[in-house]
Structures are given as structure tokens and as C-alpha cells.
Amino acid sequence: MTTERTTQTALPRRIAHLDMDAFFASVELLRYPQLKGLPVVIGGGRRRADDLLARLRDTYPERDWSETTLDRIPLDFFPRLAGYTGRGVATTATYAARQFGVGSAMGLMKAAKLCPQAILLPVDFDEVRRISRLFKSTITEIAPVMEDRGIDEVYIDFTNVPGGQRENGRALARLIQRSIHQATGITCSIGVAPNKLIAKMASEFNKPNGISIVLPEDLQTLIWPLPCRKINGVGPKADARLQAHGIHTIGALAERERGWLIEHFGKSYGDWLHAVSWGRDERPVVTESEPVSMSRETTFERDLHAVRDRAELGAIFTRLCAQVAADLRAKGYQGKTIGIKLRYDNFQSVTRDVTLPDATDDAASIRRHAGLCLKRVDLTRRIRLLGVRVGKLVKPGTEGAAPAHYSGNHPSVPRSVQDKAHDDHTHLLFPDLD
């Protein structure tokens, strides 16, 4: 009996980055198709359908209004950005609004100056999450190796998917685009490249509803002319340092020797900068990953003060801690590091944290230790944002998880500190801590 052996040549890597086009805005345009092509900004609050219907019935009492008749709302009914004076932030904007310079994470007051005629709509998180789950399940039915990177983007490994090598991945990208549009009514843009690093850049090349293919031989023509900020992992501070050395593009970065980059940016980051400038990235597409931390934060409509707004701030703080605890339990985690984040009225941010001997998912314990962290920051200044974070996550029952009798007290914080009265501002804001 003879056994035939066949040598299988490894297929070239085909990694795709898929990004839904103006996702939050696109979700709203499904509800309000009359707004397509117009400048629309999403942000400033959560959608309340009942409030909208009530206003419609007050304004147009002669008509019957329901969720099925929203496409008939006259354009002059929608609120405009002009004159906006709140503290909201833009979640996203349609491409018509982006032409005026409006972008994600921009303050709505600034957006109002750039594009006062833009229509302002609140966020419908429930619908966004529903469509997010729908487009991701559509992808995995075609290409099962998918890495979830957030509400509106994923990485997909095309390499061994039937048809994944055709036209260097373009054929499969077209199939996924069509399938998502049929399932959701929303378009997406896809970049296909040898790795995740370049695929993410490529997905921005041809928006909206575009497909871009980058091959290894395209590095110098398509990637090197891009600014260094296009590299996922080069933030504003690193980019400023690079520019101070006259490095403005990825190509200029590639011209620097690895040793020089290590000398100026440290062993780890310098080595990484050299690798990515040459398009090297061996990270796999990970279908499941453990979260590093869970957090909740909120930006206030107006700046709050620890004394004058202590009741409101205290309630928000308690709610954030309860939400993080609920998130932990829903995902089956406990955390050992409890932290807080504050942003003051001058946009300066501060963080503080404390590490416990045992992990917890108890809301009262999280609030107690987060309160101790607040004791270590300046609470005499007005606060713009407040956040609570739990890190160093573990699964209950594993090493480091809380035993059943755990009370939440942290021995590395002396009892004298835990028991003594806090400073006036902390005590007024969190009177139950002592």
C-alpha cells in the first residue's frame, strides 16, 4: 500500500479590515430616509422615541404619527446645530457634514460653528447594538474568522476562506459588502492587505462603500506617503515627537535606522515603529479575547462642582459604580484594580486607582474604593467628566477572585485612612464613605 503525500503551499495572508460607513448616522438614516445627502450630526444625548412622537403630535395634531411614519417628518421639524449651547460631543457625522470639517468626538458647539445648518439627532444605542450584531453575524456566516474591534469595525481573515484569494480578496470583499447591505441597509468600506496594520489604513482609502487592496509591493506607493498618524498606535504625542525630528510621513519613518528609533523612542516602541514603517505586522485575527478592563464614564451637560452639585455628582458616581458592577457580572468577571477618571473644566484629565488583594464585582465595594481614589484628586475645581474603571479582570473561582466572605477592605490602604474623616470636599460628595 502506498501513501501519497501532497505538499500544500501556504497561501498568502489576506487580512481585511471592515469599517461601517458613518455607522451611528447611517442607523438614523434608515429611520429618516428623507435626510439622506444632508449634513447630519449624531450626538448630544440618547434618543427617546416617545418624546419625538409627542412633539410631532403637538406640532402636527392633524396627522397620525407612529414609528412607521417617521419618514414623513418634514425637514423643518428637525433641530439644527445653529445656536447649540450644550456640552454634548458628536458621536459621528454624515459625509455631507464632514465636508464642513465636522468629525467624531468634536464638541457640538464647535460643530455648530462649522456647520450650523446640520441636523442634530440623538443616539439610539439599542438600535445601533442590534444592527451591529446583525452585520457581524452576516460576516461570520461567510468568513468565520472575525475579530470584533468595536461597535462598527472588525478584522476578518480571508486567507483560507473559499474565494478569499480571488482578485487578491476583492471578490470576497464584494460578497461581504453586498450581504451586509442586504441585511442592514447600510454600507461599509473594506481594506484587504497582508496584515491588520495595513488593512486598517486601506479601509480608509475609498470611503464610503469602497474596497481597497494593498499588496506587499504597494508599500512604497500607497503607504509611505501617508502621515505617521495613520499608523494605528501612533498618537498625537508620539506624532509630535516624530515631527520634531522632521519625520512627517511613514516613508520618512522607514528611512530612519532601527537603532536611531530605539535611541530616541525606547527599545519597545522604537523597535515597533521600525517594523510598522516597513509594513510588518504578524498579529493574528483573534476570534475571542479577554477584556483587560471595564469602565463607565459620563460627560456632563454643564461643569459640576463637588460642593455645590454634591447631590447630583454623588448620584452619578453611585450609578457609574453600579453600572460597572452590572457589566462585570453580565460578562462573568471580577476585577482587582478600582480606578477613577476626572476631566476638569480646562480639559485636564487625571486618573487614580487602587489594587485590591482579591477581585470583586460588588457595586458597594467598587464605590467605596473608587471613593478612596477620589480622595487623592483636587475636588475644588469644576468637573466636566467622571468615570469609574475596574481592571485586572479574572473569572470568579480562579486564582485572585474574591472569596465568598470578602468584605472589600484593602489592607494596603491602612484602616486609619479608611476610617478617618475625609477632607471636606470628599466627605460632602461621598458622605457614606466614612
Active site residues per annotation: 153
The closest of 136, 174, 130 to 154, measured between CA atoms, is 136
SS3 call for 386: strand
Pairing between β-strand 383-394 and β-strand 334-344 as defined by DSSP bridges: antiparallel
> Which three cell numbers mark 192?
484587504
Per-residue burial over 159-192, b = 16 or more CB atoms within 10 Å of its CB, e = otherwise:
bebeebbeebbbebbeebbeebeeebebbbbbbb
Q: Which residue has the cell 515597533?
A: 272
Grid coordinates standing for 100? 464642513
- CA–CA separation, 53 and 61 (whole Å): 11
Taking the C-alpha atoms of residue 116 and residue 410, their distance in angstroms, rounded to an integer, is 52
Q: DSSP labels for 63-130? A: S---GGGGGG--GGGSPBSTT--S--BEEEE-HHHHTTT--TT-BHHHHHHH-TT-EEEEE-HHHHHH
What is the number of other CB atoms lying within 10 angstroms of the CB of residue 361? 24
DSSP code of 103? -
Q: Residue 276 burial by CB count (10 A; 0-12/13-18/19+): exposed, middle or buried?
A: buried
Map grid coordinates 489576506 to a residue: 14
CA distances from 205 to 7, 190, 280, 305, 314 (A): 37, 9, 19, 45, 46
Radius of gyration from C-alpha coordinates of the chain: 25
Q: Which residues contact 326 (CB under 8 A, 6 or more apart)?
A: 363
